[in-house]
Amino acid sequence: MGNATVRAFVIAGPGRAEVRDAPAPVPGPGEAVVDVERCGVCGTDAEFFSGEMTYLHTGEAVYPMRIGHEWAGVVSAAGSDVDGSWVGRRVTGDTMLGCGRCTRCVGGRQHLCAERHEIGIRRGWPGALATRLPVPVRALHELPVDPPVDAELGALVEPGANAVRAVRAALPAERLLVVGPGTIGLLCALFAAAEGVEVHLLGLTPSSLEFARSLGFPAWTAAELPALPFDAVIDASNAPSLPARAVALVEPGGRVVLIGIAGEPSVVDSRSLVLKDVTAVGVLSGSGGLAGAIERYASGAVDPRPLVAATVGLDEVADVLAGRRRPEWGAAPKIHVDPRR
């Protein structure tokens, strides 16, 4: 295979995917091309594979799709109007690519732009489950060399940035409950603990709770949860009943942060919000939290590496998205992909 093509994981339809050759990206104005070293897969990617993802039903995404939005790599080419010193730098980047012209973009809220592309998710921008990825330079974040943030940590910046924003929204708090001990929930716990917060997790399966405990956090089922006052609750689950449960569990005057998305509407009684004087905050994307995640990883204040169960090649991605995990991977929630394998 020459430089004119890249290997890419492509979803052709629900439950149908293959690794195929695709045209190599050429950097346009304001763009760079990144040689991808690591890419994480998440629940959103699994929903695209199953056909359940909402964007497929609204027309904001269509098959065939190239997914992957949690990534790190090295810049290998830059557009003619881009500073050539970008080439050779290890980077990660924002998933949300706003138009750059509308009121939301100009106001620093490009992740809410109505015309935004989302890498590997929305409006056809190709994802990072490929050997090369085109990215606008304005979306790039350089990863530090000293102390180093390597490709594995770099691919954990995007989910970490979501956690950064969720924790910021939950503070100030002395005691925090995180609902859902998946990747985002565990990252929320790690970032909150780095701020000196006492963190508890609420989960369902014995394996996920045991893994959370292995990271040093108290983790409970609903039946076991102690009657403690929680100043804030972060819902990082995908269960439609749990946002209301979060409101019920938070202390009056506390904060509820909603970062999980259920497959069907979640019902929250607004009277509970009013009568408890609760602040409820929704978090969409890691935009605005990327630099914070990089800083915490570089300083060692947060170490997300234990969350990565394994690193596989592109040929194994379909099995991962279908939920087929090797027993030796254990209970860690995150799978990484090295597209060069």
Domains and CATH numbers, the chain: 5-156+304-337 (3.90.180.10), 160-282 (3.40.50.720)
Cα–Cα distances in Å, from 36 out to 33, 41, 74, 173, 175? 9, 14, 7, 38, 39
pLDDT of 263: 86
Q: Nearest to residue 217, comparing CAs of 235, 199, 195?
A: 199
In three-state secondary structure terms, 53 is coil
Supply the pLDDT for residue 3.
61
Question: Which residues of the chain fall below pLDDT 50?
Answer: 1-2
Q: What is the value of pTM for the model shown? A: 0.97
Contacts of 30 (CB under 8 A, 6+ apart): 79, 81, 82, 136, 137, 138
Calpha distance 179→234 (Å, rounded): 6
Selection from 112, 104, 158 nearest residue 135 by Cα: 158
Predicted pLDDT of residue 1: 38
